[in-house]
């Protein structure tokens, strides 16, 4: 099931994407209009949405709605750095002994089709195509073997980064958290439809140029290991977003540098999920 947050006729709610239509969650008065609340209801909410899908009613053409980030304001947005061997090679940095996590502030989150701002204070704007997963159940001290039980689904993320601001601090947080620098979407594909998240093709284009062409099988720390590691330290909550790292091909390591410019379009495509597309514009 592809779960989306969208706006239609000035009202925001959730639904399920079926080909070129979206099944409107308002068709069941017992379904919440917020994605986190929907996920908190677990299987009962999924079953109600499935019944709406089977009814073949309450459908809206996908072209008539505005897709938002599936979770517009996650409680936590955690990213992992240096998680692909080829990306480590291109950076010249050492392989981390432990998962290297950082925080993106949730105010950076936006959706498919929204504009990425080229900030006034820097021209060193970079893309990072990544698989992301969404926590579906509150958890702490999770084993690697059981971690899959706590994933609601998967989506695509662009870990947009302002490189000079990133390296002003060892935590990277400021350079990772500029407004509009957290595109996520276009929807969440439920975990039952992604039986192996560690065997997915991942590609990133800037305009028509293929910049990243890899596979999630090359992660050093997989999704389940990330959950087990993080949950030793903090309670993971429903709707938390965790991104899984980027492969090689980022702009900062191109010769000449491949930083993003206003007018360019970034498209990230992952097998089984779809494509996340955003255009770069000058910060207003």
Contacts of 35 (CB under 8 A, 6+ apart): 3, 5, 14, 70, 71, 72, 188, 239
Tell me how many domains the chain contains: 2
Q: Which of 19, 34, 67 is the last residue of a domain?
A: 67
Cβ atoms of 125 and 259 within 8 Å: the answer is yes
Residue 48 pLDDT grade (very low, low, confident, very high; cuts 50, 70, 90): very high
Q: Are residues 175 and 150 in the same domain?
A: yes
Q: Are residues 187 and 233 in the same domain?
A: yes
The helix (run of H) or strand (run of E) holding residue 54 is: helix 43-55
Q: How confident is the model at residue 257, as a pLDDT? A: 95
Entry pTM: 0.96
Q: Which domain holds residue 55?
A: 2-67
Q: Is the peptide bond before 186 cis (omega within 30 degrees of 0)?
A: yes
Domain contains 276: yes
Sign of CA dihedral 9, 13, 15, 19: positive
Mean pLDDT computed over 207-211: 97
pLDDT tens, position by position, 11-29: 999 999 999 999 999 999 9
Q: Residue 218 sits in a domain of what CATH number? A: 3.90.850.10
pLDDT at 92 over 90: no
pLDDT at 87 over 90: no
Mean pLDDT computed over 27-55: 97
pLDDT tens, position by position, 217-267: 999 999 999 999 999 999 999 999 999 999 999 999 999 999 999 999 999
Cβ atoms of 129 and 204 within 8 Å: the answer is yes
Domain contains 173: yes
The tokens 């079953």 sit on which residue? 47
Q: Are residues 125 and 146 in the same domain?
A: yes
Q: How confident is the model at residue 86, as a pLDDT? A: 82
Q: Are residues 58 and 84 in the same domain?
A: no
Q: Are residues 120 and 24 in the same domain?
A: no
What φ, ψ does residue 151 adopt, rounded to 5°?
A: -100, 120
Q: Which two tokens stand for residue 116?
A: 């990425």
Pick from 250, 243, 218, 208: nearest CA to 95: 218
Pick from 92, 112, 102, 118: nearest CA to 158: 112
Q: Are residues 255 and 137 in the same domain?
A: yes
Q: Which of 16, 46, 67 is the last residue of a domain?
A: 67
Domain contains 272: yes
Q: How confident is the model at residue 200, as a pLDDT? A: 98
Q: Are residues 112 and 54 in the same domain?
A: no
- Dihedral of the CA atoms 38, 44, 50, 51 (nearest 10)? -120
pLDDT tens, position by position, 183-198: 999 999 999 999 999 9
Q: Are residues 136 and 205 in the same domain?
A: yes
Q: How many CA atoms lie within 13 A of 51 on its CB side?
A: 12
Domain contains 72: no
The helix/strand/coil state of 182 is strand
Q: How confident is the model at residue 81, as a pLDDT? A: 93
d(CA 234, CA 252): 32
Q: Are residues 124 and 159 in the same domain?
A: yes
Q: Which of 44, 67, 90 is the last residue of a domain?
A: 67
Residue 89 pLDDT grade (very low, low, confident, very high; cuts 50, 70, 90): confident
Residue 95 pLDDT grade (very low, low, confident, very high; cuts 50, 70, 90): confident
Residue 93 pLDDT grade (very low, low, confident, very high; cuts 50, 70, 90): confident
Q: Are residues 56 and 85 in the same domain?
A: no
Q: Are residues 260 and 155 in the same domain?
A: yes
Q: Are residues 35 and 137 in the same domain?
A: no
């Amino acid at each position: 099931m592809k779960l989306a947050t969208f706006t239609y006729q000035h009202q925001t709610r959730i639904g399920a994407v079926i080909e070129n239509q979206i099944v409107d969650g308002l068709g069941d008065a017992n379904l919440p209009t917020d994605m986190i609340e929907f996920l908190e209801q677990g299987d009962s909410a999924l079953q109600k949405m499935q019944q709406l899908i089977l009814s073949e009613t309450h459908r809206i053409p996908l072209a008539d709605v505005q897709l938002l980030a599936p979770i517009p304001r996650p409680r936590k947005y955690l990213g992992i750095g240096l998680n692909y061997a080829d990306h480590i090679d291109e950076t010249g940095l050492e392989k981390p002994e432990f998962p290297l996590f950082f925080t993106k502030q949730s105010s950076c989150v936006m959706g498919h089709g929204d504009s990425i701002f080229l900030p006034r204070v820097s021209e060193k704007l970079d893309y990072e195509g990544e698989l992301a997963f969404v926590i579906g159940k509150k958890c702490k001290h999770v084993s690697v073997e059981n971690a899959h039980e706590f994933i609601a689904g998967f989506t695509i993320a662009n870990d947009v980064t302002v490189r000079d601001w990133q390296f002003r601090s060892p935590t990277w947080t400021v350079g990772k958290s500029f407004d509009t620098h957290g595109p996520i979407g276009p929807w969440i594909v439920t975990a039952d439809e992604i039986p192996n998240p560690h065997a997915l093709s991942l590609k990133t284009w800037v305009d028509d140029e293929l910049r990243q062409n890899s596979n999630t099988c090359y992660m050093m720390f997989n999704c389940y290991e990330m959950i087990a590691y993080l949950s030793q330290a903090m309670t993971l909550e429903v709707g938390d977003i965790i991104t899984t790292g980027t492969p090689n091909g980022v702009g900062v390591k191109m010769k000449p540098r491949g930083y993003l410019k206003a007018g360019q379009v970034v498209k990230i495509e992952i097998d089984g999920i779809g494509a996340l597309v955003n255009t770069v514009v000058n910060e207003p």
